[in-house]
Chains A and B, each alone.
Chain A
Amino acid sequence: MKNKRLWMFEIFRGFAAILVSLAVAAVFIFITSDKPWEALRYLLISPLVSFRTGSSSFNLTSFYTILAAMIPTIFTGLGVCVMFSANEFNLGGEGGVMLGGFVGTLSGIYFVTGTGFDAVLAVLIAGLVCGIVMLVPALGKVKLGASEMVSSLMLNYVILFVILHFLSSIFADRSKGSLMTYPVSPTSKIPDLVSGNSHLTWGFVIALVFTVLVTLFMFRTKWGYQIRMIGINKDFAKYSGMKVGAIVVLSQVIGGILSGFGGAIEVLGRFTTFSWLDLPGYGWEGITIAILAKNNPAFVPLAAFFIAYLNKGCQLMSTYCDVPSEMIDIIQAVIFLFFAAEHFLAKYRQKLVVKTTVEELKNLSAKEKGGAKA
């Protein structure tokens, strides 16, 4: 009963954090916009409901677009969950997505077998390469004690510039006006799940499958258990005989592989060429999602949906109203601060704990009295 009450409190606190962030967003909207109510409607309702004169209806296309936007962020979110669970603050998801997209595209152009497995091959190669690259911060941490956070952040920039170099010097399609690769072979494309222009591909199904796989990995395997134990208490894990170094490396390599998958699936699903000229931002979104999911992979799709929904709302708001879409960063930052705040509403939590304990003691004493009479 005690646990249930506290669990309910956690959910309540999560909603409170989200409400605070939306309230902050509303304040900014009221300052910026000439027609704040309309802007708010675009932010909160329009992603799923389309308004026509007199009637409103569920907007299926828009719903598919939101689901499509979740594909890369589910992967980065899962990757961040695994790494943060081990208390490894590897922030290389951003570079991982970029590299995964690039390698996946190259594989889709140049390693073509013509069979149905080209897309699978491209995604696997992309994941493999990203996993190997993540060895740099991981081994730096384990072998040398260098902060994985700083090295992975710097690695993002290195990956960006090295990719741009190869893209512009070797792989560019010169017949195009802007910098991009040649189109990938049709067999390497990830097929659409629904018809239309929503870009909702089979990648979404794969993302959900990986959610299940990563959840099982984290909660049902030896390695997942070790990753979580290291995150809770590294020294204890070490003294109880776990190979801490190997597990730390494993967690970051898994994180890299997942972000590589995300990047490759995104590019091969949404586009036909690789044309990212800047870090795509999915890595940072993945961190927000992992925070919202409290590092539990099972909740990642839900958190990814929430962020994708807000993103869509911000886009609509900036298209139809006078509020810039960068609003999403402010909302995310506030969610970050409050959602991860362990002592947010701590007084209320304390009261709850006290109340529960008092009730339990009463119950106990009542039982004892009953026992004494009998």
Chain B
Amino acid sequence: MIKEILPTLFRADFLFSILRITAPILFATLAALIAQKAGVTNIGLEGIMMISALFGTLSAYWAQSWFVGVLCALFIGILIALMMAFFSLNLKTNIILTGIAVNMLGAGGTVFLLYLFTGMRGNTASLSSPNILIPTVNIPLLKSIPFIGQILSGHAVLTYIAFFLVYMTWVLLYKTPLGLNIRAVGEDPNAAQSVGVSVNKIKYIALALSGALSGLGGAFMSMYYSQSWNANMVAGRGFIALTAEAMGRGEPVGAMWSSLLFGLAQALRTKVSGIQGVSSYLVSSIPYVVTILGLFIYAASTYRRVKKKKVEKEKEKITK
């Protein structure tokens, strides 16, 4: 089995597929990251992606324009994130419960809303038309480079945007006053408050940004990745993103690498499931097993480092 897979792993189309599969996870991971930097664990990513994926497809169909669809998905993502912010910050609903509620809306509420708007049940396969799919771009010079061109060129617009947003997130967090405020609020809200930063306002902004990013991720899922919206299409990517964020140590570039790792796991899953004699069910569990392992390995490494530091500090105290 390994002999069959191994040569295909270094082919351009496999590496291309990793980038394609990584993009939605990357959007969600960046969304998790910005919220986490402001001290908010946004577990509603999954639900936001489902809902904005639905409204992205629907509005793209109504306007017959993919661009309108993406904008609408972005807008809906922000809207839901602001609703989460209102409930968790103003009405003091536990943020985790708020997230679970949004995920419920994403799981069953979307099926209901789809029926409400179109009378369709469970998927939008009948709405498919080429105008409502996010177009792919061939990058002029890059395209003609053999191998590398095949991997890097010809992706959807949003795939490039996803990787560009890694840089933008870094700029936002480390080069702008807003980023400084977000980090300050996440690090110590009381200290931030004492120097006149409005903690709630910053958390609102961070959650809105988080919603916008996951909205884009949702649009990518329904308008490019699976070409239409269907129930349960996000399949845990919002939760995988939470792990990817933690494994990336809360840094944009680290988040990108861990997203790529999970993208690789998903791509392997598609690759292996094509081979005969391999249980498709066990293969389906690969991304989730990798997530648990990744979470544990990452946690173990930080845990040890923290422990070491503590021991060293105590030693210093004793020697003093």
A and B part of one assembly: yes
How far is it, in angstroms, between the C-alpha of A128 and the C-alpha of B288 when the chains are bound?
A: 23
CA distance A138 to B236 in the complex (A): 21
Decide if A319 is an interface residue (CB 8 Å cutoff).
no
Q: A144-B300, A154-B239, A157-B288 are in contact. Are A341 and B108 (CB under 8 A)?
A: no
Asked if A243 is an interface residue, CB under 8 A from chain B, the answer is no
Measured in the bound complex, the distance between the Cα atoms of B115 and A28 in whole Å is 11
Bound CA–CA A342/B88 (angstroms): 9
Residue interface mask B199-212, A partner, CB < 8 A = 1: 00000000000000
A154 near B292: Cβ-Cβ < 8 Å: yes
The answer to whether B299 has its CB under 8 Å from any CB of chain A is yes
Interface residues of B in 83-107 (CB under 8 A from A): 87, 90-94, 96-98, 100-102, 104-105, 107
B296 contacts the other chain (CB 8 A):
yes
Contact residues on A (Cβ < 8 Å of other chain), bracket: 35 or more
**A6 interface residue per 8 A CB criterion:** no
CA distance A342 to B98 in the complex (A): 12
B289 close to A (CB within 8 Å): yes
Q: A136 contacts the other chain (Cβ, under 8 Å)? A: yes
Residues of A contacting B242 in the complex (Cβ-Cβ under 8 angstroms) = 147, 150
B93 touches A341 (CB 8 A): yes
Instruction: Return chain B residues, CB-CB under 8 Å to A158.
Output: 285, 288-289, 292
- Check A340 against B93 for contact (C-beta < 8 Å): yes
A329 touches B105 (CB 8 A): yes
Least distance between A264 CB and chain B CB atoms (Å): 22
Partner of B115, one of A32, A342, A344: A32
User: Which bracket fits the contact residues of B?
Assistant: 35 or more
B98 x A337 contact (CB < 8 A): yes
A326 contacts the other chain (CB 8 A): yes
- Chain A's nearest CB lies how many Å from the CB of B296? 5
B residues within 8 A CB of A31? 116
Given A162-B281, A327-B112: A333 touches B101 (CB 8 Å cut-off): yes
Q: Within 8 Å CB of A165, what residues of B?
A: 279, 281-282, 285
Against A, the Cβ 8 Å flags (1 = close, 0 = not) of B211-246 are 000000000000000000000000010011011001
Known: A329-B112, A343-B90. A150 touches B239 (CB 8 A): yes
Q: Does A336 lie within 8 Å of B116, measured CB to CB?
A: no
Asked if A151 CB lies within 8 Å of chain B CBs, one says yes
**Contact between B288 and A154 (Cβ–Cβ < 8 Å)?**
yes
Residue A153 at the chain B interface, CB threshold 8 Å: yes
Across the interface, name the chain B residue whose C-beta is closest to A31.
Answer: B116
When A31-B116, A284-B104 are in contact, do A342 and B295 touch as well, CB less than 8 Å? Answer: no
Is residue A237 contacting chain B, with contact meaning CB distance below 8 A?
Answer: no
CB–CB B112/A332 < 8 A: no
A158→B109 CA distance, assembly (Å): 25
CA distance A53 to B39 in the complex (A): 59
A103 at the interface (CB under 8 A from B): no
Query: With A149-B43, A154-B292, A342-B92 in contact, do A161 and B285 touch (Cβ < 8 Å)?
Result: yes
The reply to whether the CB of A97 lies closer than 8 angstroms to some CB of chain B is: no
CB-defined contacts of B303 to chain A, threshold 8 Å = 143-145
Chain B CB within 8 A of A146 CB: yes
Residues A336 and B100 in contact in the complex (CB < 8 Å), given A140-B299, A150-B291 = yes
A55 contacts the other chain (CB 8 A): no
Q: Chain A residues near B292 (CB, 8 Å)? A: 136, 140, 151, 154-155, 158
Q: Which of A91, A145, A161, A330 meets B282, CB within 8 Å? A: A161
**Are A329 and B108 CB-contacts (below 8 A) given A154-B236, A165-B279?**
yes
At the interface, yes or no: A287 with Cβ under 8 Å from chain B?
yes
Write the chain B residue with the least CB distance to A327. Answer: B112
Q: For chain A residues 119-177, which have a beta carbon within 8 Å of chain B? A: 136, 140, 143-147, 149-151, 153-155, 157-158, 160-162, 164-165, 168-169
Query: How many Å from the CB of B131 to the closest CB on chain A?
Result: 28
> Which residues on the A side are within 8 Å of B144 (C-beta)?
none
Measured in the bound complex, the distance between the Cα atoms of B118 and A324 in whole Å is 12
Q: How far is the CB of A86 from chain B (nearest CB, A)?
A: 14
A112 at the interface (CB under 8 A from B): no
Query: Cβ of A291 < 8 Å from any Cβ of B?
Result: yes
Q: Name A's B-contacting residues (CB within 8 A).
A: 28, 31-32, 89, 91, 136, 140, 143-147, 149-151, 153-155, 157-158, 160-162, 164-165, 168-169, 284, 287, 291, 324, 326-330, 332-334, 336-338, 340-344, 346
Beyond the given A161-B281, A284-B100, A343-B91, could you list 18 further A-B residue pairs with CB under 8 A, ordered by the A residue number?
A146-B298, A150-B291, A150-B295, A151-B292, A154-B295, A158-B292, A161-B285, A162-B285, A168-B281, A324-B121, A326-B109, A327-B112, A329-B108, A336-B93, A336-B100, A340-B98, A341-B92, A342-B91
8 A-B contact pairs sorted by A residue (CB < 8 Å): A146-B295, A146-B296, A157-B288, A161-B288, A329-B108, A330-B108, A338-B91, A344-B91
